[in-house]
Structure 1
Amino acid sequence: MNAADAAVCVADVERLAGDLLPPDIRDFVAGGGGDESAQAANRACLDRVRLVPRVLTSADGADTAGRLLHGTAAMPVAVAPMAYQRLCHPDGELAMARAAGKAGVPFTAATLSSVPIEEIAAVAGTLWFQLYWLRDRGLVLDLLARAERAGCTALVLTVDVPVPARRPRDMRNGFTLPASVVAANLPEGTGSAAHVPMPHESAVASHTGIMFENTLGWDDLAWLRGHTGLPVVLKGVLDPGDAVRAVEAGVSAVVVSNHGGRQLAGAVPSIVALPGVVEAVAGRCEVLFDSGVRSGTDVLRALAYGAAGVLLGRPLLWGLAMDGEAGAGLVLDLLRAELREAMLLTGCADLSAARTLGTVLL
């Protein structure tokens, strides 16, 4: 029996994938910042959100389809930007993009993708591009132009990595990229630091520190909007005041995210921050959510808390590691089946009804 045949939920996929990956790569995917308490808190706080089902709603089926960032999606989910996917499978981002396209959800290509944006665009459905702000502004402009030529429909600017957090698992492993995995969107040679082993240090973090601009400000966001016609999404917003400034700066959406617990270990859990951001933007831009999503019920929790949709990360890497495109597709299929079931059990015929569900916090 194929390993994927034994998976009936995301937890199964993670377990099976963990058995297949080399320990250092498994730790790179699974690990978090500092003591990893932000990861634990993301999950614990999501579990505290309990939904209040409605009955006798005459709901005929449960339609998971809707609009997401000016486009349509088969469910309110997009693939989050994730670096170096060829660590998990030789097909990397190509397999993930194909799976997303078949599932009818957007795929977000990362600046630190291990496949060039042009090759991803050739196999993708709806495509977004995630930008890390580089010290070389000429490279930023080049990435913007390439994303637009590739047909990307949104630009996702990640703003919560002024510096890469210390990730103890990677430091203990002295984690480096294998020679076969490169930052394919950057000029040849600029990612060499990620391949140089250093005792008790992450070479990937070292490369990030060298390449990324750590003094990004609101003026830079205005500059960015002046150099692209794509709708801009700000990823990594937790403070309601920052969300208001983002709206005033003209962004199309914000992503409430603590980077999946991979940055500040003491950061507020994303689900705790979500209602305050939703209230602050007051419908003036879309609010998306990520960090800790592991099931269709989690998607419904985020919708009930006011999110327009969620970004899904680690579970898809586990699926990719387990069985390439088929494994990533399985994770998306599981999520949609779970979301539809949760909607039926709470009396929600569509996403509009889901966004008006009552919740109780344990």
Structure 2
Amino acid sequence: MRESVGRAVQSQIYRDGVYGRKPAVPVAAAALRDAAHRRLSKRALGYVAGSAGLETTATANRAAFDAWRVVPHILTDVSERDLGVDLFGRRRPTPYLLAPIGVLDLVHPEADLAVARAATDAGVPMIVSSQASTPMEDIAAAIGGGSWWFQLYWSREDALMESFVSRAEKAGAEAIVVTLDTHLLGWRPRDLDDAYLPFAFGRGIAQYTSDPVFTALVRERATRPRTTQRPTLAALSALASIARHHPGGFWTNLRSPLPRAAVETFLDVFSRPTLTWDDLEKLRQHTTLPILLKGVLHPDDAVRAVDSGVDGIVVSNHGGRQIDGAIASLEALPRVVTAVEDAIPVLFDSGIRGGADAYKALALGAHAVCLGRPYVYGLTLAGTIGVRQVLSHFIAELDLTLGLSGCTSIPDITRDTLRAV
């Protein structure tokens, strides 16, 4: 990757400015966030921006980046730079991936499809969520020849887990990312104050309603006697939402028991609090794809992951959405990296808001980094174009930070380039 990557984005913005044109989405992280927050409905804002409890974990994620400073070297030839990384047998043009985020139709009608197109344009792998608004096969078609992984929420029904993994592998996923920190739903006051869970309204369950194992469970559920309550306007509105987001025609769905049964079935089978290390072998029996564990924060868990034969881990606290007062992901990263001793790749997630943040995570040992809320904000403001510009800005800033610090490639970014405050 030559010098023009960062400078090209920078120069194009300035050249466009001569003609009165500005980027479709704000470049500054705070401005991007604030613009998206103004656009979102109260429910969407609570779901996207909210975190657990007092939201101290989300705050700690950001504070952890401020605890490190970049110490640049000067008078080194940085005219040619390479942002590429090798990950699971493929050369990636940048160390970025898009973190799995569900219910994207809350922020934009094109949801996952808009993100998929932008990710392919940027050469950034997309980790497709189990809670996507669109079936994985349709997302894979939008990605085309691009790269994507599948994030697995391990259901209470093993047969459903097996079906998801089989579908993902058949559709072209390159890895399975098992998210392990949502076996119980975190205490999220913003959502609780609104008494709003999108899945209860039929949103974010497209992977399920498109799955043969799940639909069989739904048909069985629909035959059970139902307890009825006096309808309210809110209940009728919820029913309309369920019908609108279920496969098939709206009016047909309103008259059918299946859409409501699908929501009830999902709420029954989504979480698996009994999941243990012993269950990982079941997953290995059903796929040859690399398996990563997402939600690792403790070095002992990292060691056990290596011993269990998984192919990679993602250091993440779910963006602060699960445990209030948890350790910041960046604070946990160095100890996890030391614990695995380069046996498997360590990826990083939670809190990155700019290219310099990505630089710090890479310097502390991450092999790649995942972007979350910033690309959702880009989607909110400008759909595919918004996501594409956010990715362009992150890639450009990382490239320029690389060169300005005296580095020419990702392996040059080591802990020696940082100092703790």
Q: Do these two structures clear the TM 0.5 threshold for a shared fold by scoring above it?
A: yes
Q: 1:177: how far off?
A: 2.8
**What is the match of residue 200 of structure 1?**
none
Query: 2: distance between equivalents of 1:209 and 1:55?
Result: 58
Q: 1-side partners of 2:407 and 2:267: how far apart? A: 44
Do residues 212 (structure 1) and 271 (structure 2) align? yes
Q: Is the 8 A contact 1:51 1:357 kept in 2?
A: no
The answer to whether structure 1 residue 181 and structure 2 residue 213 are counterparts is no
Cα RMSD after superposing both structures: 2.4
Q: The residue matched to 1:57 in structure 2 has which SS?
A: coil
Shifted more, 221-230 versus 291-300: the winner is 221-230
Deviation sequence 1:220-252 (CA, Å, 0-9, x none): 111111211110010000011100110111111
Q: 2:184 aligns with which of 152, 158, 163?
A: 163
Q: 1:236 aligns with which of 295, 313, 334?
A: 295
Compared with structure 1, are the counterparts of its residues 309 and 176 closer, same or farther at alpha carbon in structure 2 (3 Å cutoff)?
same
The 2-side partners of 1:92 and 1:297 are apart by: 28
Over alpha carbons, which structure has the higher Rg? 2
Match of 2:59 in 1: 40
Match of 1:147 in 2: 168
Q: Distance in 1 between matches of 2:329 and 2:21?
A: 35
> Matches of 1:128 and 1:92 in 2, distance apart?
17
Shift of 1:115: 0.3
Q: Contact 1:4/1:13 (CA < 8 Å) preserved in 2?
A: no
What CA deviation, in whole Å up to 9, does each residue of 1:26-81 have, x standing for no partner?
A: 12100001111000000011111111111122222332222233322221010001
Query: In structure 1, what is the Cα distance between the partners aligned to 2:202 and 2:272?
Result: 26
Distance in 2 (CA, whole Å) between partners of 1:84 and 1:131 is 15
Distance 1:176 1:267 in 2: 23
Contact 2:364 2:414 in 1 (8 A): yes
Q: Which has the higher helix share?
A: 2
- Aligned-partner Cα distance in 1 for 2:412–2:204: 44
Q: Are 2:181 and 1:130 aligned?
A: no
Q: Give distance in 2, aligned partners of 1:289 and 1:92.
A: 24
Gaps of 5+ in 2: 1-19, 210-214, 223-234, 242-262
How many residue pairs are counted as aligned between the two chains? 355
Among candidates 359, 370, 388, match of residue 311 of structure 1:
370
* Paired position in structure 1 for 2:9: none
Q: Which runs of 5+ in 1 are unaligned?
A: 198-203
Matched, 1:301 2:323: no
Contact 1:53/1:357 (CA < 8 Å) preserved in 2? no
2:32 is matched with 13
User: Contact 1:3/1:322 (CA < 8 Å) preserved in 2?
Assistant: no
Matched, 1:249 2:308: yes
- Answer yes or no: is the 8 Å Cα contact 1:163–1:209 preserved in 2: no
Q: Percent identity?
A: 41
Aligned to 1:65: 84
Rounded to whole Å, the distance in 2 between the matches of 1:313 and 1:213 is: 24
So what's the TM-score if we normalise by structure 2?
Answer: 0.80
Partner residue of 1:325 out of 363, 384, 390:
384
In structure 2, the CA distance between the partners of 1:350 and 1:209, relative to structure 1 (3 Å rule), is farther
1:146-179 C-alpha deviation (Å, 9 max, x unpaired): 0011000000000111201110000011114396
**Cα 1:180–1:4, aligned 2, differ >3 Å: closer, same or farther?**
farther
Contact kept in structure 2, 1:84 and 1:181, CA below 8 Å: yes
User: What TM-score, normalized by structure 1, do the two folds share?
Assistant: 0.92
